[in-house]
Amino acid sequence: MSETKRSVWLVIFLGIMSAMAPLATDMYLPALPVMQEDYGISTSAVQMTLTMTMIGMAIGQIFAGPISDMKGRKLPLLLGMLVFMSMSAICALATNIWIFLAARFIQGFAGACGIVISRAIARDMCKGAELTKFFSILMMVNGLAPILAPVLGGQILVMGSWRHVFWVLAIIGLVMAGATVIFKESLPVELRLKNINRTLLTFPILMRNKYFMGHCLVQMFEFAAFFAYIGCSSFVFQGIYHISPQVYSYVFGGIGASLMIAGGLPAKLSGRVSDEKMLRCSLYLQAIVAVLLVGIFYVEAPFPVVVPLLVLGLAPLSVVGAASFSLALSSQGRNAGSASALLGCSSMILGGLLMPIVGIFGTDSGVPMAVMMLVGFTMAIAACHRYILSGKQK
């Protein structure tokens, strides 16, 4: 295989691995109202199916990162994909909501291997501005998932039930397990952590680094806002604006396309515009748009007004992700797996916990969703100024 083909294959491979979160969530978003009726549960309860996956992914990254620092990237990745495949099949077969929730948690836990280890592999192979460019490319490939996943999910609902969505996820897990088999290990034995004690000590060290934890807080609040949108948008769009699951999937996919397009900005601006400036400008833009969204939903503006604002508010997420992850991981060296795990956990845990809470406030208005987005973006700005922009890395 030529060097160019190898590079393209690696980008696609890592891009799909890093997209395990949107693949596991976005594909069945159009089916949430149908699932609610099928299981006979409340809106908050069906949103718990998203929460369990997010919590599983958050906790899974804490384990997958350090293990990959000790055992290499390949073996944990392979095991994760095989378990992801198995749990997806159980979700497709589950007739009891409690079994479904348990399988979703384990599915998320296993999918975390793809998310955290793909970033660690990028850190193994790149650094500095090159790392920012590589993360930007990953964000663009990753951006295909929120475009294609809900559209595919919507089309599956035309031809079959929501259970078929999880059979497709099982197939994706199988394919990625096969791709992992041919992946060449990126972490040499001599650079691996030698024992579990060293691995466990890595987290306290990282958590005492205020600069690094500042990035964790930015990720936590940024993605809390994003998951408020993910958890509520299907109910708001289909319930308030009365669009079909298929139309919802196209709208959601279109907003996902904006994330992919925005993901190319850091690569083009890298070396000319600092990562800190890209991060700050993106966060401020999101907060301003969130304020407008609160007002738009309050006055019950028509759907064509809502969608462009959501695009403008959510697209900068890719810029924030690329810039923040690059800045946070650049100085971590052999601790890249653990650092990536802590960043990944931060980006999912709060959003996962808040999704069913937003549902409690009702989905007969988009205001609760917009308010949660505004709070998240505002807190991300505060963390950025307090810990990232106020001083240098310690």
The CA distances from residue 373 to 56, 237, 332, 354, in Å, are 22, 16, 30, 11
Position 41 pLDDT exceeds 90: no
Furthest CA-CA distance within the chain: 61
pTM for the model: 0.74
Structural domain tally of the chain? 1
Count CB-CB contacts under 10 A for residue 295.
Answer: 12
Look at residue 289 and tell me if it is in a domain.
yes
Position 237 pLDDT exceeds 80: yes
- Look at residue 79 in the predicted model and tell me its pLDDT: 94
Look at residue 296 and tell me if it is in a domain.
yes
pLDDT category at 296 given cuts 50, 70, 90 is: very high
Question: Domain containing 16: what range?
Answer: 3-388
Look at residue 67 and tell me if it is in a domain.
yes
Look at residue 321 and tell me if it is in a domain.
yes
Look at residue 394 and tell me if it is in a domain.
no
Position 55 pLDDT exceeds 80: yes
Specify the CATH number for the domain of residue 44. Answer: 1.20.1250.20
DSSP 185: P
Look at residue 356 and tell me if it is in a domain.
yes
Indicate the range of 149-153, 275-279, 302-306 predicted with least confidence.
149-153
What lies within 8 Å, CB to CB, of 275 at 6+ separation is 132, 266, 323, 324, 326, 327
Angle at 240 between CA 236 and CA 242, to 5 degrees: 105
- In the chain the first and final C-alpha atoms are separated, in Å, by 42
- Look at residue 140 in the predicted model and tell me its pLDDT: 66
Position 127 pLDDT exceeds 70: no
Look at residue 310 and tell me if it is in a domain.
yes
Look at residue 107 and tell me if it is in a domain.
yes
What is the C-alpha separation between 146 and 21, in angstroms, rounded?
9
Tens of pLDDT, residue by residue over 181-193, are 988 888 888 777 7
**Quick one: three-class SS letters along 20-75?**
HHHHHHHCCHHHHHHHHHHHCCCHHHHHHHHHHHHHHHHHHHHHHHHHHHHHCCHH
pLDDT category at 3 given cuts 50, 70, 90 is: low
Residue range 43-48: mean pLDDT, rounded? 83
- Look at residue 360 in the predicted model and tell me its pLDDT: 67
pLDDT category at 344 given cuts 50, 70, 90 is: confident
